Amino acid sequence: MDCRTLQHDLDALLAGDHGEPAMQQAHQHLANCPACRAYAADVQTLRRALADDAEGRMPTAVRQRLLPRRTPRPALAAAAAVIMAAGTALVWQHLGDQLPGATTEPAEWTTATVRLDLQSGNALSDVQFQLELPEGTQLEGHPDRRSLTWHDDLAVGSNQLTIPLILTGEPQGELVARLEHDGKSRELRLTPAEITRRGVGNGAGNRN
């Protein structure tokens, strides 16, 4: 393997994309070639510099402008007050205006998307779905509901149920999804830890 090949194809060679023998040749070449070692080391340095340069999380204010509905009702979220950065205060003030009696202090909140895989051996029609949500969680679009029931069909095989949640605090119990069909029922339970593990930090109002 020559230096040009190694430097040009460094990532793929080391990742084993060209097979095990090529990867070993590459390592052998690196062990014996100071020029390619220096090149590879500089690539690592460059990678670190670029990764560190990332500006990080989306500012909360931007998120609220882009996803205005994915914001918990302040009235429900008031428990944990957080010191706000100046930039987010305006947004919340604005929200507060729309919601009579709501506090303008945001709580720390995150979203979590819970995905349940419902396996069914047969196609089933008119299955009853019931969701029960623990305190500390809200169903996106239904901020004031602790439980929700509806009917739908299940296809043969895998059915994915996606539950978009807003976490306004630590979940205070299990999330229960209950399916009923023809007198039989099945239940899926998620513990608080399982729910929060799916959380996507959306940041509280303390970052901008």
Partner 1 sequence: MSKLAHLWKRLSPASAFEAAMSPHMERLWRLALRFQGNPSDAEDLLQELMARAWQHRQTIQELDAPGPWLARVLYRLHVDRWRRQGGLDASVALDDAMQVEASLDTQTVLDRIAVNEVLEEVNRLPEHQRLVLLLHDGEGYGLKAISGMIDVPTGTLKSRLHRARATIRHALADGTETHTTACQVSGGG
Residues in region 158-187 near partner 1 by CB under 8 A: 158-164
Rounded to the nearest 5 degrees, what angle is found at the Cα of 179, between the Cα atoms of 173 and 183? 125
- Binding residue (CB under 8 A) for partner 1 from 142, 186, 189, 197: 142
If one asks whether residue 30 binds Zn ion (CB under 5 A), the answer comes out as: no
If one asks whether residue 87 binds partner 1 (CB under 8 A), the answer comes out as: no
- Binding residue (CB under 5 A) for Zn ion from 1, 14, 23, 33: 33
Q: How are the residues of the chain apportioned to helix, strand and coil, as percentages rounded to the nearest 5?
A: 35, 30, 35
Q: How many residues bind partner 1 (CB under 8 A)?
A: 62
Q: Which stretch binds Zn ion (CB under 5 A): 9-17, 27-35, 93-101, 143-151?
A: 27-35
In sequence order, what E strands does the chain have?
110-120, 124-132, 137-139, 147-154, 157-167, 175-181, 184-190, 199-200
If one asks whether residue 46 binds partner 1 (CB under 8 A), the answer comes out as: yes
For 153: left if phi > 0, alpha if psi spans -120 to 50, otherwise beta; the answer is beta
CA atoms in the 13 A half-sphere facing the CB of 85:
13
Residue numbers at the binding site for Zn ion (CB under 5 A): 3, 33, 36
Residue numbers at the binding site for partner 1 (CB under 8 A): 2-4, 6-12, 34-39, 41-43, 45-47, 49-55, 57-59, 62-63, 65-70, 111, 113, 117, 129, 140-142, 148, 150, 152, 154-155, 157-164, 200, 202
